[in-house]
Structure 1
Amino acid sequence: MIRFVLSRLAVLVPTFLGVAFVAFIFIRLLPGDPVELMAGERGTTPERHAELMERFGFDRPWWEQYVTFLGNILQGDLGRSIVTKAPILDEFLTLFPATLELSICAMIFAVALGLPAGVLAATRRGTSLDHGVMAVTLTGYSMPIFWWGLLLIILFSGILQWTPVSGRIDLLYFFEPVTGFMLIDSLLSDQAGAFRSAVSHLILPTIVLGTIPLAVIARQTRSAMLEVLGEDYVRTARAKGLPMRRVIGLHAFRNALIPVVTTIGLQTGVLLAGAILTETIFSWPGVGKWLIDSIFRRDYPAVQGGLLLIASVVMIVNLLVDLTYGLIDPRIRHGR
């Protein structure tokens, strides 16, 4: 098991270096001068411009800036924001709980509906139920996030007025954050109605962000279940007269979990990428909206550090997924 874990950890090193390089190059490919954007409408003199370029190191060759960037990362320093002057890590840790809360709720929504839908479609293969589930999942997968989000806002917030349009909680409630998770903090605040307000603000962003992972998980679960249901040991279990529920739950479903778990792990990256659009649409104060604002402001340290930290989260999740393989199927961790 130790060798299995070490082999997975070894893969993360070149991946991390590659992500660091992409994060560094990405922002520099965008047109625009960060110093001019900082100056705004007031502008700046050539002398002041040259001084700021030298202060932030933008006048040096790109490879020299990259080496400095890597050196700072190895020391645990992601730099400071050009705009707010705050440490990048502090800003990320302040905003990440909002993104994490939204992503967790979206994944719970996707898994809670996607797994049963996939199993149901596989066990009713070829029926109208199977076709209906697959049609719904295909529709969900095909919906652009920005269009789906605006459509739900118009319907549930505008016409029906069931849910709020934006934010994490009504302005009526104010309390010091303890965990950064609004659902937990609202419960701890003991303010009547705070938790209900937090839940109502979370409903639409959760549905919008979780729709695509739900569709992918449902389709992958169906495919994996169909493959397993055709195996000899499943037919043998049926021939022994075991109840169908036991055959599916005990024999088929567990062996179909590995590709499904892989899909769930990969969808973590999709969630964090989708969170950028979702948070922008719903004015959700998380890392995604922060990154978008930083890109527009050409805040190099914020974009570089933010992308690197998000990529690190995705790599850690995928590592946990790999370790989960070993728990589901012991043959994997023994290299069989």
Structure 2
Amino acid sequence: MFGFLFRRIGLVIPTFIGVSLVAFFLIRLLPGDPILLMAGERGLSPERYAELMGRYGFDRPIWEQYAGYLGSLIQGDFGTSIITKKPVFEEFFALFPATVELSICAMIFAVVLGIPAGVVAAVKRGSGFDHGLMATALVGYSMPIFWWALLLIIVFSGILQWTPVSGRISLLYFFPSVTGFMLIDSLISGQKGAFASAASHLILPTIVLGTIPLAVIARQTRSAMLEVLSEDYIRTARAKGLSPFRVVGVHALRNALIPVITTIGLQIGVLIAGAILTETIFSWPGIGKWMVDSIFRRDYPAVQGGLVLIALMVMVVNLIVDMLYGLINPKIRHTR
């Protein structure tokens, strides 16, 4: 177990360097001068422009800039925003709870619906439910997030007026942020209707963000269950007279969950990527919307630091998922 853990941690170092390299050069491929965008309509004299270029290090050779940036990252300095003048690390984690809350709700939505649907589809292979589920999953996986979000807004917020269009909570409620998670903060605030308002604002973004992971998890669960249900030990369990629930829910599902958990771990990156569009459409004040705003403002440090922090979190989540394998199936040996 420890040998596997050390090997995985060793892979984090080159991955971290690669991510920092991509983040550094990717933003610089976009047109636009960050100094001129920061100045806005006021304009800058040539002297002032040269001074700001030197202050932010943009007048140095590109590889020298990257070497300095990588050195700062190693020391834990993710830079300071050109626009807000605040540390990127501080801005990121001030907005991070909003994205985590949305991502957790989306993943719960995907797992709670996806795993049971995949199990039932595998047990009833070839039935109308099986074919319907696979067709629906394919449509859900192929559906563009921005189109799906706008469609739900038109139907449920526009026509039916059941859900809010944007934001995390109604402007009628105001209370101090204790945890950063609106559902928890609204609940402990004691204000009547605050929790219901926060929950209603989460419905559409959760469905939109969780649709693709739901489709992937359902298909993966069905595939894994079909493979496990054909094993000899499942036929033996049935021959012993065990109940269908015990055969499917205990013996089959437990072994089928290993690839499913891998899929769930990989969906963390999909959730973060999807959150960028979802948060922008629903004006959700998380890191996705913050990243989009930073890109438009050519805020190099914010974009670079945000990408690196997101990549680090995805790597940590994948490492945790790998560690969970041994808890689900003790026969797995990470030391091989």
TM above 0.5, yes or no, is yes
Q: Following the alignment from structure 1 to structure 2, what is the Cα–Cα distance between the partners of residues 188 and 202? A: 18
Amino acid at match of 2:235: R
Q: What's the counterpart of residue 70 of structure 1?
A: 70
Q: Following the alignment from structure 2 to structure 1, what is the Cα–Cα distance between the partners of residues 58 and 211? A: 41
Q: What's the counterpart of residue 157 of structure 1?
A: 157
Q: What's the counterpart of residue 202 of structure 1?
A: 202
Structure 1 window deviating more from structure 2 (240-249 vs 300-309): it is: 240-249
User: Following superposition of structure 1 onto structure 2, how do residues 134-153 of structure 1 map, counting pairs within 5 Å?
Assistant: 134-153=134-153
Q: What's the counterpart of residue 269 of structure 2?
A: 269
State the 1:125 CA deviation.
0.3
Q: Following the alignment from structure 1 to structure 2, what is the Cα–Cα distance between the partners of residues 198 and 121? A: 34
Q: Sequence identity of aligned pairs in percent?
A: 75
State the 1:228 CA deviation.
0.6
Amino acid at match of 2:306: G
Q: Following the alignment from structure 2 to structure 1, what is the Cα–Cα distance between the partners of residues 108 and 334? A: 31
Amino acid at match of 1:201: H
Q: What's the counterpart of residue 122 of structure 1?
A: 122
Amino acid at match of 1:281: I
Amino acid at match of 2:80: R
State the 1:4 CA deviation.
2.4
Amino acid at match of 2:284: W
Question: Aligned in 2, Cα 1:334/1:161: closer, same or farther, shift over 3 Å?
Answer: closer
Q: Does the Cα contact within 8 Å between 2:186 and 2:198 map onto a contact in 1?
A: yes
State the 1:70 CA deviation.
1.1
The answer to whether the aligner puts 1:300 opposite 2:300 as a matched pair is yes
Residue by residue over 1:106-128, the C-alpha shift from the partner in whole angstroms, topping out at 9 and shown as x without a partner, is 00000000000000100000010
Amino acid at match of 2:124: R
In structure 1, the gaps of 5 or more residues are none
In structure 2, the gaps of 5 or more residues are none
CA RMSD of aligned residues (A): 1.0
Q: How many residues align?
A: 336
TM-score by length of 1: 0.98
Q: Does the Cα contact within 8 Å between 2:105 and 2:206 map onto a contact in 1?
A: yes
State the 1:43 CA deviation.
1.9
SS in 1 for 2:332: helix
- Point out 4+ residue stretches in structure 1 off by more than 6 angstroms: none
Q: What's the counterpart of residue 331 of structure 2?
A: 331
Q: What's the counterpart of residue 83 of structure 2?
A: 83
The answer to whether the aligner puts 1:211 opposite 2:211 as a matched pair is yes
Amino acid at match of 1:137: A
SS in 2 for 1:85: coil
Q: Does the Cα contact within 8 Å between 2:81 and 2:302 map onto a contact in 1?
A: yes
Q: Following the alignment from structure 1 to structure 2, what is the Cα–Cα distance between the partners of residues 333 and 51? A: 58
State the 1:102 CA deviation.
0.2
User: Following superposition of structure 1 onto structure 2, how do residues 215-234 of structure 1 map, counting pairs within 5 Å?
Assistant: 215-234=215-234
The answer to whether the aligner puts 1:30 opposite 2:21 as a matched pair is no
Amino acid at match of 1:100: V
Structure 1 window deviating more from structure 2 (98-107 vs 33-42): it is: 33-42
Structure 1 window deviating more from structure 2 (209-218 vs 227-236): it is: 227-236
State the 1:334 CA deviation.
4.3
Q: What's the counterpart of residue 58 of structure 1?
A: 58
